[in-house]
Amino acid sequence: MKTIEVTELVLRDAHQSLMATRMAMEDMVAALEDLDKAGFWSLECWGGATYDACIRFLNEDPWERLRTFRKLLPNSRLQMLLRGQNLLGYRHYQDMVVDRFVEKSAENGMDVFRVFDALNDLRNLEQPIAAVKRTGKHAQGTICYTVSPLHTVQGFVDMARKLVEMGCDSICIKDMAALLKPQPASDIVTGIKAACGEKMPVHVHVHATTGVTLVSLMKSIEAGADVVDTAISSLSLGPGHNPTESLVEMLEGTGYTTRLDKARLLKIRDHFARVRPRYGEFLSNITGVDTEIFDSQIPGGMISNMESQLKQQGAAGKMKEVLEEVPRVREVAGFPPLVTPSSQIVGTQAVFNVMMGRYKVLTGEFADLMLGYYGETIGPRDPEVIKLAQEKAGKPPITCRPADMLEPEWDRLRASALALTGCNGSDEDVLTAAMFPQVAPKSVTRGPRTWAAILVPPKGRNPFETRFSTR
């Protein structure tokens, strides 16, 4: 009987996927004791878009949120999603900033760093993974799963082997668009175990959007996966994840089991079922499945982004054309996986192509992508469009690791942060200002919270009131 370990996603990816990352800390606190004692391998609770949402919408200091988790989840591994050299921002940061961010995250309580790069460019993972290793914490190397004429099982397995050579403690297959079908799931896990050794832990992260991925988890487990990601049922399915309780029940009678406490799972479920309606205005209205994305390979979140861009331009009727343009733009750009930020970059360029003519106007980000400033893509990029990008951006294409182009910037970032009202001078505050230069200056100091932005206080709540405190 093999025990399958589980990472619970409700504190991060579940509400990021289902309610625009809007869940406030005060709506999580009451469930933490049960989450801490239910028997999860880890609790994903930080990173991704949560840092941004904390300061932009929720009047929370993300570092304070992390310290609260650390305090109230004493028995749990805390896990975060880290966008490689981008950290939690939207550009590449110089290595010293990356080091500082990882050190501070570890110091404030983070245990497991799931590190990915949107282009699967290993060079963008080297620095953050080395930084995690230096802290003694768990470095999880991540493969962004996608489908294209160039992506193969062998390619993903090769990437896993290289991640292990870089010192990763485990490998994650990250299927952000629910494209991972049962057979490739089985093949990739089998391949990784053969290439990296049976003892190298393999984690599988899938979304539920297409309806097939609980089967993919089953086949992954049969192929040797050690840890799978799920979300408690009351915040699951649709563009979110498979329900934790269903995973537990699914395994009954097989040669696999979990060590999850079903009674605690029900309490956690009931808590988030009560919380969910408070976020009605942000809730995804997708409750069924979408299998068309197997053909378009466009994640659900990306479609809603493009829809709103088209509407702003009074061209909502052009959606079909845009959907057909996305795969062409992706091919021109060398078949990147579609995940933050490549999904937004490709999607926006597809909208521009349809509205103004193909590559008549390039976005700055798309030009950077074409010129190599986000890293290397699996396929060659279109030379004609590279030429246009060079004209637009006024800089040459590069082939080196993008962060190698950056000058040391920590001292400059620190100085500009210190000049802002409300900065308490800590490295944590400097990192907030560095990653969110537009948002941080608008935030103010109030009581124990240093970067508590009040741009959009949570509906129906007094932003000056907290229902929990850890200090």
Q: Does 275 bind a copy of itself (CB under 8 A)?
A: no
Q: Per rule CB under 8 A, is residue 246 in the interface with a copy of itself? A: yes
- Cβ-based neighbours of 334, under 8 Å, separated by 6 or more: 377, 378, 379, 380, 381
Binding to a copy of itself by residue 334, rule CB under 8 A?
no
Asked if 315 is part of the footprint of a copy of itself (rule: CB under 8 A), the reply reads no
Hey, which residues between 45 and 84 contact a copy of itself (CB under 8 A)?
none
Instruction: Determine the Cα–Cα distance for residues 131 and 166; give it in Å rounded to an integer.
Output: 12
Question: How far from 69 is each of 108, 173, 194, 443, CA to CA, in Å?
Answer: 10, 25, 37, 23
Question: Which class for 150: exposed (0-12), middle (13-18), buried (19 or more C-beta within 10 A)?
Answer: middle
How many residues are recorded in the chain? Answer: 471
Q: Is the Cβ of residue 218 or residue 389 nearer to a copy of itself in the bound state?
A: 218
How far is it, in rounded angstroms, from Cα 44 to Cα 64?
A: 16
Candidate residues 71, 194, 292, 426; the one interacting with a copy of itself per rule CB under 8 A: 292
Structure tokens at 256: 């696999």
Least distance from C-beta 438 to a copy of itself, angstroms? 37
Nearer to a copy of itself, 90 or 256 (CB): 256
| Cβ–Cβ under 8 Å, residues 131 and 99 | yes
Q: Minimum distance between the CB of residue 291 and a copy of itself, rounded to whole angstroms?
A: 4
The conformation of residue 300, written as its DSSP 8-state character, comes to H
Pairing of the two strands 444-446 and 449-452: antiparallel
User: Could you tell me whether strands 138-144 and 170-175 are parallel, antiparallel, or unpaired per DSSP bridges?
Assistant: parallel
Query: Quick check: 210 binds a copy of itself (CB under 8 A)?
Result: yes
- Which of the stretches 126-134, 163-171, 284-292, 319-327 binds a copy of itself when contact is defined by CB under 8 A? 284-292
Cβ at position 184, least distance to a copy of itself in Å: 6
Nearer to a copy of itself, 4 or 115 (CB): 4
Rounded CA-CA distance 446/463 in Å is 10
Encoded tokens for 50: 């949560």
For the segment 129-188, give every residue that binds a copy of itself (CB under 8 A). 181-184, 187
Site for a copy of itself in 180-199 (CB under 8 A): 181-184, 187
Residue 426 in contact with a copy of itself, rule: CB under 8 A: no
Interface with a copy of itself by CB under 8 A: which residues? 181-184, 187, 210-212, 214-215, 218-219, 233-234, 236-237, 242-243, 245-246, 248-250, 252-254, 266, 287-292, 294
